[in-house]
Amino acid sequence: MKKSVEEPKDKHLRKTIEGLPPSAKLVYKVLEYGGLLTQKEIAEQSYLPPRTIRYALGRLKDEDFLQERFYFKDARQSLYGLKDMTKQQVAGEAASQAEFDFANVYTVPKEYEVLAT
């Protein structure tokens, strides 16, 4: 069963997405379906080379579509996802980094929890 994807309702948003290079459009769709992913995971799903993915992520970041989060499992990597575009359309501005919910990115394993004594 195919997952239905809503088309952007804002014509300006749609026009901006249409103006992106094909690699950025593909990475946009991979992130739309996959949520938060590392560059390696994006490469596995899109079959694009790492350099192309870096370029596409840069273009998405320039257009303010991209959010970048700290990846707690491996500090050398980052998690990438799409910003909530409906918030931006309603507020008329980009969502700030503080608005993202970092608690859902990674839960701390029990062996690393600090117990107060």
What's the pLDDT score for residue 8?
A: 47
Residue 71, exposed/middle/buried by CB under 10 A (0-12, 13-18, 19+)?
A: middle
How is residue 33 written in tokens?
């379906």
List, for residues 34-69, the tens digit of each pLDDT value.
999 999 999 999 999 999 999 999 999 999 999 999
User: Both tokens of residue 7?
Assistant: 């088309």
Q: What is the mean pLDDT of the chain?
A: 75
Residue-wise pLDDT for 65-109, tens only, equals: 999 999 999 889 999 999 875 444 333 333 333 444 444 444 555
Return the exposure string of 31-53: e unless at least 16 CB atoms fall within 10 Å of the residue's CB, then b.
Answer: beebebbbbebbbebbebeeebb
